Amino acid sequence: MTTGTVHLQRVLRATPERIYRAFLEPDAIAKWLPPYGFTCQVHHMDARVGGTYKMSFRNFGTGNSHSFGGEYVELVPFEKIRYSDRFNNPNLPGQMHATISLRQVSCGTELTIVQEGIPEVIPVEMCYLGWQESLFQLAKLVEPEIPD
């Protein structure tokens, strides 16, 4: 059964374009999305409406991994990303949906994330914790202005 929903909001000192790219470029998402203690392998990413993606997170300490993937449902450049998400594990049933909204503000970009349909066996507070760690890493990727 899928019941959990998380809502997150952050303001990052980066442009909507840079944050949008960080969600859709395989090397970027592999760097910031896995929570602390995990690595990420992007198996494929076809970032277009109707395109799919698949990736795996590996627990660095134990070596155990879990894979997941889904489909891009809506892409509005620099404003919105909507995608489905499903674990490749029968113990984590159901399909999740995530909506990423970007809005330019005076000091950067307001980022809003809504993830719905989290499997019942995953505590929602663990999802919040994981997203908080990921978003901290996202900020470290997109906020620096480094000259060539």
Q: What are the chain's domains?
A: 2-36+75-142 (3.30.530.20)
Quick: pLDDT tens for 29-62.
999 999 999 999 999 999 999 999 999 999 999 9
Q: pLDDT tens digits, residue range 86-107?
A: 999 887 888 999 999 999 999 9
Residue-wise over 4-34: b if at least 16 C-beta within 10 A, else e?
bebebebebebebebbbbbbbebebbbebbb
CA distance 102 to 23: 11
Model confidence band, residue 125 (pLDDT cutoffs 50, 70, 90): very high
147 Cβ contact partners less than 8 Å away, ≥ 6 residues apart: none
Closest among 98, 99, 115, 108 to 142, alpha carbons compared: 108
Distant-in-sequence, close-in-space partners of 76: CB < 8 Å, separation ≥ 6: none
